[in-house]
Amino acid sequence: MLKVRQALLTAVQRLGDRVDAEVLLAYALSKSRSWLIAHADDLLSAEHASAYTVLVEQREAGEPVAYITGRRGFWSLDLEVTPDTLIPRPETELLVEEALERIPISKTVNVADLGTGTGAIALAIARDRPLAQVIATDASADALAVARRNASRHDILNVSFVQGDWFAPLGDQRFDVIVSNPPYIENHDPHLNQGDLRFEPMSALASGEDGLDDIRRIIRDAGRHLLPEGWLLFEHGWNQGEAVRMLLCNASFAKVSTMRDLEQRERMTMGCWSVSKDCGSS
């Protein structure tokens, strides 16, 4: 019989990643990662040991940990994740932070999240701004089912979900804040054939020759769905900042600015649907 410590050591050697090895063992045992440390000398049952081996093999074959466990933490939420949804990334929390700065805590504000996937961004905003009314769209019915389950698991009631492409299911509604983490990778980017991206829905990742097809559509239609002084905020690739600032300025957005992520890469850009259409960009 193997001890927890030995099983972990073997998995770390196979996977080359201690966190992955711990997350998968914790999942196999239905325990927390801190439990593993406190019980390093416990013996694993044969069933647990063989269940763990299967998980380690799945990971060795490249499957993302979040799809194996079906969970991923984002903001303050533990979210269900399936292969129908993009896996929420920590850098997308920057988009949530910037959106929250533009949503007063004591006012009812209408927010739209386009292409919500797991619901990560919509649910983080709805949780932290209980007075906000959030509508989240997604073209995929399967993704929306996951997002709805995430909302009900966390008892978040001020969010609703509608199916359709970008603004299509929103009729002529207007919003104070529109957020999106759209697909933005170039169709031929070799990264699409590497790592976790191989397992994620292509429709949530790639967007035309220059990766900007969906961002162009969102910017084109956003003006028809923003209230005066409303904000559009979206994530993009590290090398797309200049192009998206230009797109926003050309579409008459004001106060256009880009934020960098913790690795100092341009990660998200926002603009204000201003009545006085001066484009001060930075």
Contacting ligand GLN (CB under 6 A), which of 5, 14, 31, 89? 89
- Give the angle subtended at the CA of 153 by the CAs of 167 and 67, to the nearest 5°: 75
Cα–Cα distance for residue pair 270/244, rounded to 1 Å: 9
Using CB under 6 A as the criterion, what x/- string covers residues 226-265 for binding ligand GLN? ---------x------------------------------
Number of Cβ within a 10 Å radius of residue 278: 8
In whole angstroms, what separates CA 219 from the centre of its chain? 20
Pick out residues in 190-209 that bind ligand GLN (CB under 6 A). 197, 205
Contacting ligand GLN (CB under 6 A), which of 185, 212, 218, 244? 185
Residue 217 structure tokens: 């559509």
Stretch that binds ligand GLN, among 36-44, 52-60, 181-189, 244-252 (CB under 6 A): 181-189
Q: Torsions phi, psi of 187, nearest 5?
A: -50, -35
Residues that constitute the known binding site:
115-119, 138, 166, 181-184
Q: How far is the CB of 282 from ligand GLN (least distance, A)?
A: 23
Residue 183 near ligand GLN by CB under 6 A: yes
Q: Which helix (H) or strand (E) holds 268?
A: strand 266-273
Q: How far is the CB of 264 from ligand GLN (least distance, A)?
A: 16
- Site size with ligand GLN, rule: CB under 6 A: 9
Q: Is 27 helix (H, G, I), strand (E, B) or coil?
A: helix
Stretch that binds ligand GLN, among 10-18, 66-74, 158-166, 183-191 (CB under 6 A): 183-191
Residue 114 near ligand GLN by CB under 6 A: no
DSSP output for 50-89: HHHHHHHHHHHTT--HHHHHTEEEETTEEEE--TTSPPP-
Site of interaction with ligand GLN (CB under 6 A): 86, 89, 181, 183-185, 197, 205, 235
